Structure 1
Amino acid sequence: MNYKGFYKEECRLNTYFSSIKKLLLALFIFLFSFSSLSYNAYASTNSEPVDENELKLEVERIYNERSKALVSGDISSLNTLFDTSKKYGKWSLAHEIKRVKYLVDWARERNIVFSKIESAIRIKKIYPKGDTIKIALEESYKFDYSYNNDTDSSINSFGVGIRHTASLIKKNDKWVIYNDWYTDCFEDALHSYSSDVSNFSPRLNLIDTLRDKLDTTYQAGSYYKRFYDREKAVAYADKYCGAAWGSGNNFKYNKKYNDYNGIGGDCTNYVSQVLGDKEGGGMPIGGAWTSGSRAWANADGLKSYLVGSGRGSVISVGTFKELTKPSETLPNGAVGKLQLGDLVAYEKGRGNIDHFAVVTGFDSHGYPLVNSHTTDRYHVPWDLGWGDAKIRFFLIHING
């Protein structure tokens, strides 16, 4: 995708139409200025002064209470965090209930337990209006987990970065969420969950773990380098993974490249940077694969380019259960063949690659971890948030 094209004006306006245009422009500026003044006057006369530090602490308090529910599975504790007298508050609460149900099930199915989930926020803008305050903010999640009955009690950590547009309102002298809009890292897994608080029973464990540790002997240097430097690719992915806990570069993307958040998503653009930037994997850039091209920034386009050019090869395609099922040749399932710097593509409906992530590590049980944009992820378990049994994963090895 390339958004740099502009149309050129090719016709001349006569004097009459030029005058009309100037008058309309002047009228627009006047009306805009008046409305801005009116809003500022309204905000200043109807809104109390906002202490940004106090507001930050309140939002973090609310988000960390929500995070405690993700750990405990106690859905009832969420009720006091939202203004349920209004529909937006009800919708926000319903979404959080689904998230808790999903994460409890996901952890149980993978035989892990979350010990702590914490949130830190960075406020970008504040819009006071009447009795509500609208905030644009970034949230950095940190998730800590370990495996049940693990002899070494290793703590694994991963990070997620989320951009929110939230509104808060005071109820009984306490701030609560009026509404909260954000791109959720669990979104695609929530369709089969309800927001009903009653009769919540977590699913039974479906798999133990990935059958001990995956085959990670290549990490000792058994692979060789040609045009792709896997260690540098991972270092780039960690540095520029954005708002997630654990990322570098002060939570910023690489400014050398376009940011496609809000206009289709930035996940594939980011993965292409990881592969090709000189600071990253160093795969030669050129031909159909250049910054902004379809092969660079479109998920289907990148998958087709890698496989068609021979720079990548598909290890296996399947659902989570299919890719983790052991066989005689693959005792740890197909995921056992993933290496650092390899890719996972996520297919929503046959022929529709919707998302890309890059393998950046392995946890204490050899579970593959990935980084991505939209939502920003740092060393996150590769399947987290993709719970639909119909989702297929393409495991892609970079032939470098």
Structure 2
Amino acid sequence: MEKHIHKIHILILLFVLTLSLICYKSDNCFTNKDMSISTIASVNSDKAEITKVLENIYEDRCSMFITRDITNLPNYYDTSQKLGKASLDHEVKRLTYFNDWSNQRGMNFIKVESTPKIKKITNTKKGLRLLVDEYYKFEYAYKNDITPTINVFGVGLSHSIELIITGYKWIIYSDSYLDCFEDALKSYSGEIKNFKLKADKDPIYKLENCPKIPSELKVVNNGGYDKINAVKYADKYCGVPWASGNSTKYNKRYTNYNGIGGNCTNYVSQSIGDKEGGGLPFDGIWYCTYKKNDGADESPAWINADAFKKYLIYSGKGKIVGKGSFKELISRIPGYPCGAVQKLDIGDLICYAKGNVIDHFAIVTGFDSHGYPLVNTHTIDRYRVPWDLGWGDKNINFYLIRVK
């Protein structure tokens, strides 16, 4: 009898060891939604394995824009230390802000995708350090439309991420990146008070369906400004590959000022001034001198937001058609039921100011199904993003500039 029991114990032990070995080699040991992070056995994992880890995290996180359920979000972060907690807090703020922003404008996100592209992997004492480009694709529609139209915009972000292994699964120890929605997040808390974000918040802004009103600007191809080519250029070099079809991202003829002051004004100047773009003539103040190899020497008015804004107005190449807060610019005025933003046309510009400081430039590249202006920018790459998304309501002013 004792020998028989002993044999049973041996068989049970062998079964457990076999099951452990299978689980050890598999990346699907955790199938519960609350533990859906891929598991990796070795810190020396290759790029394909780590890409899969990020894809799984990003896929679940993107679904939260739709479901408004953030229950699973904390499982992806090491909240036992401040960097992990700060990274989680930031994502909670983003999801909450996006939820509020879309509710206030009567929109619903239909589909959100995010694709990671790992540029570099290095080992750390704790795990792995990753340099990652992330490319978002957002689809939204207006809630009350009888036949909803799907609108699409894109965003490109650059991350520095540290992953560690806890319980045979990778989680985020820290995630650092420049976020294009940062200004709007200042008024939000990362504290999770409710795992289900509110979906029934009344819109603060009663936006009408505002079809585009044709502007005074006509297409010019003979030495003046070609707004259609300006938009084509802005799309080609927007920095979001799925939207541009351009794997090189930026035009190598120009200096890239990301990390050394920002590339937003440089990009807008290129869009309206490059021969491939709008072809707006250079002069002694606003110009770019091209080098034999890649890169260029640009004038201050070409690359500095404040200098560029002053140049456009004082040179007569630009005209301010609206100025003020978001609420002011969408308020009805004579001839424009949707406010001054309805004066904008493709190829026009929007200048963003924090208080009295000119901070950012964008080029209008289209309009959504309700006539909402969409913009492209650099520094943080945006493709046809709603013009105010990411900018808070406090202390922010917008200048709407028609390019002549």
Specify the TM-score bucket, using the shorter chain as the normaliser.
0.7 to 0.9
Counterpart in the other structure of 1:353? 358
Q: Does residue 380 in structure 1 map to residue 385 in structure 2?
A: yes
Per the alignment, do residues 187 and 98 of structure 1 end up closer, same or farther by CA in structure 2, a change over 3 Å counting?
A: same
Deviation at 1:205, TM superposition (A): 0.8
CA distance in 1, matches of 2:188, 2:241: 26
Q: 1:306 aligns with which of 294, 303, 312?
A: 312
Mean CA deviation greater in 306-315 or 163-172: 163-172
Q: Report the alpha carbon displacement of residue 285 of structure 1 after superposing the two structures with TM.
A: 1.6
Q: Is this contact kept in 1: 2:154–2:383, CA < 8 A?
A: yes
1:194 aligned residue: 189
Question: Within 5 Å, which residues of 2 pair with 1:129-140?
Answer: 129-140=124-135
Q: Aligned match of 2:275 in 253, 274, 278?
A: 278
User: 1:85 maps to what in 2?
Assistant: 80
Within-5 A mapping of 1:322-337: 322-337=328-343
After TM superposition, the runs of 4+ consecutive aligned structure 1 residues lying more than 3 A away are 199-203
- SS in structure 1 opposite 2:71? helix
Indicate conservation of the 8 Å contact 1:216/1:366, yes or no: no
Query: What's the CA shift string for 1:259-298, capped at 9, x where partnerless?
Result: 0000111000000000100000000123111232110000
Q: Secondary structure at the match of 2:218?
A: coil
Structure 2 gaps of 5+ residues are 1-41, 289-297
Asked if the contact 1:141/1:160 (under 8 Å) is kept, the reply is yes
Deviation of 1:245 after TM superposition, in Å, equals 4.1
- What's 1:338 paired with? 344
Is this contact kept in 1: 2:68–2:198, CA < 8 A?
Answer: no
- TM-score (normalizing by structure 1): 0.84
User: Could you list the runs of 5+ residues in structure 1 that have no partner in the other structure?
Assistant: 1-46
**2 CA distance for matches of 1:85 and 1:121?**
25
The CA deviation at 1:173 is 1.4
Q: Is the 8 A contact 2:43 2:127 kept in 1?
A: no
Give the 5 Å matches for 1:1-400: 48-198=43-193, 201=198, 203-209=201-207, 211-218=208-215, 223-225=218-220, 227-243=224-240, 245-250=242-247, 252-291=249-288, 292-350=298-356, 352-399=357-404
Q: Are the counterparts in 2 of residues 214 and 332 from structure 1 also a CA contact under 8 Å? A: no
* Contact 2:117–2:134 (Cα < 8 Å) also in 1: yes
SS at match of 2:50: helix
Shift of 1:176: 1.0
Q: CA RMSD in A?
A: 1.7
How far is 1:201 from its partner?
4.9
SS in 2 for 1:133: strand
Task: Output the CA distance in 2 between the equivalents of 1:87 and 1:108.
Answer: 31
Identity of aligned residues (%): 50
Change in 2 beyond 3 A, CA 1:94/1:133: same
Secondary structure of residue in 2 paired with 1:123: strand
The whole-number CA distance in structure 2 between the counterparts of 1:169 and 1:340 is 46
AA in 2 matched with 1:372: T
Deviation at 1:60, TM superposition (A): 1.7
Aligned to 2:10: none
Query: Is the CA contact (8 Å cut-off) linking 1:159 and 1:244 kept in structure 2?
Result: no
- CA separation of 1:244/1:348 partners in 2, compared to 1, >3 Å: closer, same or farther? farther
Q: How many residue pairs get matched?
A: 349
**How far apart, CA to CA, are the structure 2 residues paired with 1:286 and 1:165?**
40
Report if aligned partners of 1:113, 1:148 keep a CA contact under 8 Å in 2.
Answer: yes
Asked whether the 8 Å contact 2:219–2:225 carries over to 1, the reply is no
CA distance in 1, matches of 2:343, 2:383: 21
Q: What amino acid is the match of 1:66? A: R
TM-score (norm 2): 0.83
- Give the 3-state SS of the residue equivalent to 2:363 in structure 1: strand
